[in-house]
């Protein structure tokens, strides 16, 4: 009945599995038949504190009993506190935050902020307005018209949705960026780990060199941390792991622990003026109060050393799996708890994910050939062990 109603009433925009999940606790989740699964996906990196976290549940209930929403025409106390917390955790000595509802909205805001910066730069120099944003092959920045076009994958912007906004330039490698810069170049938009592209990372040296070059040229560095941010890679921001301070950073996913929130962080806090950008729901009482609690809990996990130990243990389990199944996997990808195992035969990826589901393990795909892992940052050692035990059972039955 549920599957039939879904197909009848919900627009067909996802290739769905019709397992009906009804409850969860941290990295464990249960379907309607009470079958238990270990969740190595956390809702594609959203549930940073897992399912049904007691402190998050309490915060949501308490805030809902007081006030949910009033609009951004009035000051919102938890929004102010959250913005302060984010900037204090970020590499910015002085920065500002705009709150949206998703990663795509955050990236859309970043593009608008950059374009306004280009206008200000033109007025000051009395030269041509820079407007082009360079992005990398295998990137993913969202599904809105602008963020889809910012994504350097043809499959994300088919002709059926054309025409698209102009001003986006695609390059294959970081080195190609240097050759593509001209007087109309406004910014470079990158992910430090390309999650959807295959959990592909860049070297620190290459990124630091690029950041220095762009700063010298007066070109904005925009880092999409929708998936890498909020302690996913061990530090609050992946930018901090790489030792850079971008002009603009975007966040979403794990920032709300399950409630929908996105954020634009920038050191150029005076570019936007009243009326330039907005969001009716963005940064309301419910999401910002919840997000503030999420950050407090995650900061404690980080400072206590628990997160570091979890990352280390998860890496050890990946290394053991790679060693045990060298005919299936070629290498480990990613940083922190944003990880992948690259399959030697990409045609087997979908089949393997299905085998994992049968054994009670939720995993993801990334790119064409990567088995992706985005477990809750609060996952326990026991849950990690159980998840890898089920992965091992799936691999033992896997015909390779």
Q: Which two tokens stand for residue 177?
A: 């960026």
The angle formed by the CA atoms of residues 222, 226 and 231, to the nearest 5 degrees, is: 105
Mean pLDDT rounded to a whole number for the chain:
96
CB 309 within 8 A of CB 303: no
| Percent above pLDDT 90 for the chain | 96
User: Bridge partners of 262?
Assistant: 100
Q: Is residue 181 very low, low, confident or very high in pLDDT (cuts 50, 70, 90)? A: very high
Work out the average pLDDT over 336-348.
96
- Asked if residue 190 has pLDDT above 70, the reply is yes
pLDDT (tens digit, 9 = 90+) per residue, 223-253? Answer: 999 999 999 999 999 999 999 999 999 999 9
Q: What is the pLDDT at residue 125?
A: 73
pLDDT (tens digit, 9 = 90+) per residue, 25-50? Answer: 999 999 999 999 999 999 999 999 99
Q: Which residue has the tokens 């985005």?
A: 374
- Asked if residue 199 has pLDDT above 80, the reply is yes
Q: What is the pLDDT at residue 397?
A: 81
- Nearest Cα to Cα of residue 191 among 240, 219, 226: 226
Q: What is the pLDDT at residue 399?
A: 67
- CB proximity list for 212: less than 8 A, separation 6 or greater: none
Q: What is the pLDDT at residue 124?
A: 73
- Asked if residue 285 has pLDDT above 90, the reply is yes
Going along the chain from its start, the domains and CATH numbers come out as: 58-301 (3.40.640.10), 305-341+388-400 (no CATH)
CB 47 within 8 A of CB 258: yes
Q: What is the pLDDT at residue 400?
A: 62
CB 81 within 8 A of CB 287: no
Q: Which residue has the tokens 């002085």?
A: 94
- CB proximity list for 192: less than 8 A, separation 6 or greater: 201, 202, 207, 223, 225, 228, 238, 239, 241, 242
The angle formed by the CA atoms of residues 61, 63 and 65, to the nearest 5 degrees, is: 70
Q: Model-level pTM?
A: 0.96
- Asked if residue 123 has pLDDT above 80, the reply is no
Distance (Å, whole) CA 136 – CA 177: 9
């Amino acid at each position: 009945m549920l599957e039939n109603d879904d197909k009848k009433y919900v627009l067909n925009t996802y290739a769905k599995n019709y397992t009906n999940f009804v409850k969860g606790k941290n990295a464990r989740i249960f379907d309607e038949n009470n079958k238990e699964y270990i969740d190595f996906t956390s809702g594609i990196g959203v549930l940073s504190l897992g399912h049904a976290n007691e402190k998050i549940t309490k915060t949501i209930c308490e805030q809902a009993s007081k006030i949910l929403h009033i609009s951004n025409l009035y000051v919102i106390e938890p929004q102010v506190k959250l913005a302060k917390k984010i900037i204090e955790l970020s590499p910015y000595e002085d920065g500002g935050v705009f709150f949206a509802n998703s990663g795509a909205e955050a990236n859309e805001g970043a593009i608008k902020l950059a374009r306004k910066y280009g206008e200000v730069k033109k007025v000051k120099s009395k030269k041509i307005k820079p407007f082009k944003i360079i992005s990398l092959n295998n990137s993913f920045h969202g599904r809105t018209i602008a963020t889809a076009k910012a994504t350097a994958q043809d499959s994300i912007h088919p002709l059926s949705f054309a025409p698209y906004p102009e001003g986006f330039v695609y390059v294959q490698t970081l080195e190609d960026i240097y050759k593509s810069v001209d007087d109309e170049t406004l910014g470079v938009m990158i992910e430090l780990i390309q999650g959807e592209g295959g959990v592909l990372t860049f070297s620190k040296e290459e990124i630091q060199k690029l950041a220095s070059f762009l700063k010298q040229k007066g070109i904005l560095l925009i880092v999409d941390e929708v998936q890498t941010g909020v302690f996913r890679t061990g530090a609050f921001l992946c930018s901090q792991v790489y030792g850079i301070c971008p002009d603009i950073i975007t966040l979403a996913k794990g920032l709300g622990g399950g409630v929908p929130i996105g954020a634009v962080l920038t050191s150029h806090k005076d570019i936007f003026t009243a009326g330039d950008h907005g969001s009716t729901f963005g940064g309301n009482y419910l999401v910002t109060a919840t997000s503030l609690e999420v950050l407090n809990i995650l900061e404690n996990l980080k400072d206590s050393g628990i997160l570091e130990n979890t990352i280390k243990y998860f890496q050890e389990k990946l290394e053991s799996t790679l060693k045990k199944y060298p005919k299936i996997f070629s290498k480990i990808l990613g940083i922190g708890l944003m990880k992948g195992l690259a399959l030697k035969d990409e045609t087997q990826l979908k089949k393997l994910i299905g085998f994992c589901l049968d054994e009670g393990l939720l995993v993801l795909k990334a790119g064409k050939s990567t088995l992706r892992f985005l477990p809750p940052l609060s996952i326990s050692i026991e849950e990690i062990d159980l998840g890898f035990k089920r992965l091992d059972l799936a691999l033992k039955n896997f015909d390779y």
